[in-house]
Amino acid sequence: MRAHNRRVRRRSGCRLLVCSPPSKSPRLNVVEPKWVHGKRAIAEPGGKQTVSQTQRRICDYYGCELLEPLAQQLA
């Protein structure tokens, strides 16, 4: 892309400009509208939760079982 933009700058043409999408863009991320309902159901407004409380709420909301976390392997 840099090479293209340099060539275009020397001659004439259209430069390329790359922009990353915003972090919250429901029209670009099809999962976002579904995820926002889960976030609202799980999060406690104005209060903090422990990790175990959050895990339990996630499993209750989505109807899944709580599994043990995978152990990390160091290289």
Place of tokens 């400009």: 17
Confidence at residue 75, expressed as pLDDT on a 0 to 100 scale: 66
Evaluate whether 50 touches 31 at the Cβ level (below 8 Å). Answer: no
Domain coverage including residue 42: 22-68
Confidence at residue 38, expressed as pLDDT on a 0 to 100 scale: 86
Place of tokens 């790359």: 18
User: What is d(CA 1, CA 18) in angstroms, rounded to the nearest whole number?
Assistant: 9
Please report whether residue 31 resides in a domain: yes
Q: What is the pLDDT of residues 8-62, one digit of tens each?
A: 888 888 888 888 767 766 677 777 777 888 888 888 877 788 889 999 999 999 8
Please report whether residue 14 resides in a domain: no
Mean pLDDT of 60-69: 90
59's CB contacts (< 8 A; 6+ apart) are: 65, 66
Q: What is the pLDDT of residues 17-29, one digit of tens each?
A: 888 767 766 677 7
Please report, for the chain, how many H helices and E strands are present, in that order: 3, 0
Please report whether residue 62 resides in a domain: yes
* Number of domains forming the structure of the chain: 1
